[in-house]
Every structure is written in structure tokens, then in C-alpha cells.
Chains A and B, each alone.
Chain A
């Protein structure tokens, strides 16, 4: 699918940029040429089980197209830990690994431990926000199920903050390839992304709430004001109303779209009304092949775009309801996200949801980002710990006083952060989400 889309577009407009970053630029034609050369070199891998692991989009894109052209069964492991890559090779008996950090291709001669994917299938990895990433069997047609094409998207320019080998990254890549759009890869500091976006003429931005918070807080005012955006897409984490309001005020002309999607369940639905959560009516019946239900406070999804199953688990029958791990509550005809299952902190038997505490801490002036987690306590099981990134120049002692005062006022006593640390930055996953569960 990637190879065919790239070849078609490279024929029509070889000079148009497919990729821009702070370092380099790659046209549709040049990417296609590179992919062609690579496919020649890697001919012997045709149809094989191949893992592609890298961090640089300009390195990944031609290889993704080449391996796709060779009908390889692709594994796209998480980019960060190389240990995860070794784990993948061991468990799945890969034929080959193409990894950016290792340079030369590596081939294996080991029988597979689990059944390999069939033609048209690929293996993605869940974001691993709260634990070890899980291998997810997806298919190209399911990934492309909700990709929009149209004249208004032709030649658009997308700031894509997701790693291209993640579910969200592939969604943005497919959008770009099928619409002849340019992908702009932002630098790791979202504050510097606005200058690049301005220079490149970005029209669409796609990122997590964590990405947008940093973009708004750190980018130069002149750069943000100079952007003429048609669409802002948020996904991967729950967006709070304050962030949606801030984006609406900053970019009044842009459409604000919240997407609910996951590696396991595919792209499920989107909301465009600028309000946090989604309408309760989505819980009734079926919309575009997607059913949503609340079971015991958790959102369950049945979707035509869902995975075929975890690679080493039982297949997921098409459309069957599957727990998402997202805890939700209903208020006034709206379903609101409360947090993730498994991140709940147990303080002497009283429960605290990290996201609820984070929302309060984030209200304090001078707080740029916050992550709340449970710290082990020999006396009460767990205590609430908050790691906080402050704006430059903010006094930590004063911030500490304000944060504690606000939390005491707004939260029950066991939910008030007991351990408060000020840090320079918080770790995000390849898909741009705040990493949770492993402090």
C-alpha cells in the first residue's frame, strides 16, 4: 500500500517535498528512487518477516516503501529500546532486521516461535505507555479505513509529531501519501516546532495533548501567530477542556478534531465540537462500523478497523467488543475520560487517578507539564508523587506552595501529591504520549 501510493505520487509530482525536517528535505521522486534502489539491494528478503526499526523519518520512509514493495511481513517495533528489538527477533523468529542504529542489515536463521503474519498484514506495537509494548497484528486495509482524501487535502502540509512506525504515525503517513501532502517532522523540543512549521507553511498539525501543551507554552509568539492552520488533530491522550479552549483561542480559524484511536482498535471516531470527551449518543447503536459501550466504568470498543489480535494471543473476532483500558464517566450527555486502567494509585485503600490530580496541578500558573504516579510506601502502600516541569524563571519554593494549596483546596486529602519533584522534562513515548508506569 505504501509502495504503490508513493510510486503513483512520485510519477505525478516528483519534485514536491514529501518530507521536511530541520535537517533535510526529501521529494516524492527522490524517496521513490531511494526505495527502488533499496528494493533491488534487499531482493532476497522478498516475502520475509522483517523488522524495521529507526528513529529518523527520512531514514525510515524509503525503507518502509522498499520492504512494502517486496511484500515483506513488516514488524515495526518501538524505536527506543534496542532490547525490545532483540526480544522481537527472539520471540517472532524474524528473517531479518533493518535497524538504523546497527547500520548493516542483520539476517537470522531461526524458526519462528509464533505464527508469522500473512500477506497484507503487519505487526505494530502498542505504545507501551503503562508497560511493555504489545505486538499487534494489523492489516493495511484496516489501517487505511478512515483515511480521507479530497481536493482540500491535495498538497497540504502536515506537522507530524508521531514516530512514523507507530499506529498514529502510519495514519499521518498514509494521509500524506494518498493526498500528495508534505510531512514536516518537528524537532524533539515542541517549542522549536512552530518556527519550522511557519517556514514550511504547515496547514495541518497532528499530535498528542502533551505535544500541544508544550507547543503553546514554549513556541515563540510570533511563530504561532504566523501559522495559518486549517486543522489541528489531537489524539493518543485525553484532552482537557482548558487545552481545547487555549487551542481554539490561539487558532480560531482551524478545525479542532479529537481522534479516538489505538493500535489495537484502529481509528474509532472523532469529535469536532471543541468539547472534552464525546457525546453520550455515541454509546448507542453503531457508527461507521464502530460500537462503543461502557462496561464497569471502562470504555469497550468493537470496530471493523480493530486488530486481528495480539500476535501471540487469541484472534479478536471482527467487531467484538474489546476493553480499551480507558476509564470514563458520563456527565450531562457527555462521556468524559477519567484516566487509564492500571495507573490508579492506591493510598491506604483510597484510590487516586493520576489524570485527575494532573488536571488540578496544571491549573497552577507556572506549571508547564506534570506527571503523577504512585510511589511505593511501606506505611500506606502508595503515595501520590508529582513530577513537575516549571516555566523558565519560576521559583520552585513558591510553585510548591501554590501547587499544594491548590490541590488541598480541590482534591481529597489522599489525592494531594505528597512527594513533589521539580524536573527539567518528562519522558514521552515514540507516539508522543507521556510515559506512565515506569518512573
Chain B
């Protein structure tokens, strides 16, 4: 069974958090990625995007600078590319 885009995105977020020694549980959609939430910095975000480009063969940041704040925003960005 192929994993959904949502699962792949959440797995990438989870791995980067685990590498930093944070978050031992699945992230919820409403959680902020940065300050006040998972505490991910710009390098962490770049890592997630690079891993997702390998896993999903796409990069929503390649030609645009979409805004996102929460885990749910990030999932939605990749899911919206699904529909194209």
C-alpha cells in the first residue's frame, strides 16, 4: 500500500524532530512548526523540504514562497500539489 502524502510529510517532520531529540509523539495539525510549537529552525525546515523532494518528487518552494506556520499548513501545501 502506498503511503498518503500526509503520512510522508508527517514522517519527515517526525524524523527531523527526533534527530533534534524533540517530540516523541506524532505532531498534531494545529502545532506551530517554529517557535511556540515544535521549535524547528530554518535549517530544519529546509531539511524537511529536501527530504520531501526526494520522497515525493516535488518542491512547492521551488518557484514560489508559500506561507505556512503549522504542521497542517505544511501538509496542505503538499496535498494541494497532489491535486494539480
Contacts and interface: CB of A to CB of B under 8 A. Distances in A.
Contact of B50 (A348, A377, A404, A413): A377
A5 interface: no
B1 interface: no
B82 interface: no
Interface in A370-389: 375-380, 383
Given A418-B47, A419-B47, A348 B42 contact: yes
Contacts of B62: 378
Interface in A337-387: 347-348, 375-380, 383
A378 B25 CA distance: 28
A242 to B, nearest CB: 26
B73 interface: no
Contacts of B50: 375-377, 383, 418-419
A404 B21 CA distance: 11
Contacts, number: 37
Contact of B45 (A375, A379, A414): A379
A418 B54 CA distance: 13
Interface residues of B, number: 13
Given A377-B49, A383-B50, A418 B59 contact: no
B43 A383 contact: yes
Nearest to A385: B50
Interface in A404-439: 404, 413-414, 418-419
Interface in A318-350: 347-348
State the main secondary structure of chain A at its contact with B.
mixed
Contacts of A378: 46, 49, 53, 59, 61-62
B20 to A, nearest CB: 9
A376 B59 CA distance: 11
B46 A377 contact: yes
B79 to A, nearest CB: 18
Contact of B43 (A375, A376, A404, A414): A414
Most B CB atoms within 10 A — which of A379, A383, A418? A379
Contact of B19 (A348, A375, A404, A413): A404
Interface string A154-191: 00000000000000000000000000000000000000
Nearest to B51: A419
A413 B43 contact: yes
A18 B45 CA distance: 58
Interface string B27-57: 0000000000000001101110111010000
Nearest to B49: A379
A413 B20 CA distance: 11
A164 B38 CA distance: 55
Contacts of B42: 348, 379-380
A376 B47 CA distance: 10
A379 B19 CA distance: 20
A379 B51 contact: no
B64 to A, nearest CB: 9
A42 B45 CA distance: 63
Contacts of B47: 383, 418-419
24 contacts: A347-B43, A348-B43, A375-B50, A376-B50, A377-B46, A377-B49, A378-B46, A378-B61, A378-B62, A379-B42, A379-B45, A379-B46, A379-B61, A380-B43, A383-B43, A383-B46, A383-B47, A383-B50, A414-B43, A418-B43, A418-B46, A418-B47, A418-B50, A419-B51
Interface of A: 347-348, 375-380, 383, 404, 413-414, 418-419
Given A375-B50, A418-B46, 13 more contacts: A348-B43, A348-B46, A377-B46, A377-B50, A378-B53, A378-B62, A379-B49, A379-B61, A380-B42, A404-B19, A413-B43, A414-B43, A418-B43
